[in-house]
Amino acid sequence: MSGSPVVYIVDDDTDARDSACALVSEMSLRAIAFSSAEEFLNSYDGYRPACLLTDHHMLGMTGVELLETLRANEVSLAVVVMTAFAETELTVRAIRSGAVTLLEKPFSNTALWRAIHQALSEDRHQFADEAKLLLIRKRLDSLTESEREVLTVICRGEPNKSVALKLDVSVRTVEGRRSSIFEKTGVFPIAELVQLVMIARPELC
């Protein structure tokens, strides 16, 4: 889904959570707060565009563990991790897990604004890319078995005559199937189609 951006705030410190919510409201953004990572995971419905602002040191699941759980479940929501103890190991772990940034407490309002803006911008782009990928997958899934056979050989860079020989069909048949592939996927030229197939359906290449 897509609409007005939302900032999810996860912090077990009530004062810190309320302060972050107030700042987000000053940015004319909608804030939804949670007192634990577990509460967030039980409530998140996949809404995008959005970003997650989470403290690291919390009772139960930590902020980085929350980030790792999201990634393990293939949720690409943009995440900003906050911590009063920015050890090198923690920073590396957060960034490797895909955090947009790690903010060391105490931080200025300006630093938080910048982090949220960056996270929302990245999430919008990621959401758009995922939507495009999903559309391409659906279109590729609409191909017939014979069209997929032609597409597989085309992805290897072979010309129509070679494709026809391998599939034991006429060149005209190959040309017809190629035309149908372009029409169904809405992608042309062939170089762009191959690139998208390698990302969306690599098993076809």
Q: In the chain, list all ranges with CATH 3.40.50.2300.
A: 6-136
The pairing of beta strand 50-55 with beta strand 30-34? unpaired
CATH of 142-204, one of 1.10.10.10, 1.10.340.70, 3.40.309.10, 3.40.50.1820: 1.10.10.10
For CATH 1.10.10.10, the residue range(s) in the chain are: 142-204
The type of residue at 2 is S
Quickly name the fold that domain 6-136 has.
Rossmann fold (3.40.50)
Q: Which residues of the chain have pLDDT under 70?
A: 1-2
State in Å, rounded, how far the first CA of the chain is from the last one.
Answer: 31
What confidence score (pLDDT) does residue 177 get? 92
pLDDT of amino acid 2: 57
Q: Is residue 6 classed as helix, strand or coil in its secondary structure?
A: strand
Amino acid at 153: V
Residue 188 CA to residue 198 CA, distance in Å, equals 15
pTM (2 decimals)?
A: 0.75
pLDDT at 1: 53
Q: What angle do CA 6, 108, 29 make, to 5 degrees?
A: 15
Q: Which residues of 125-153 are buried (b: 16+ CB within 10 A; e: fewer)?
A: ebbeeeeeeeebeebbeebeeebbbbbbb
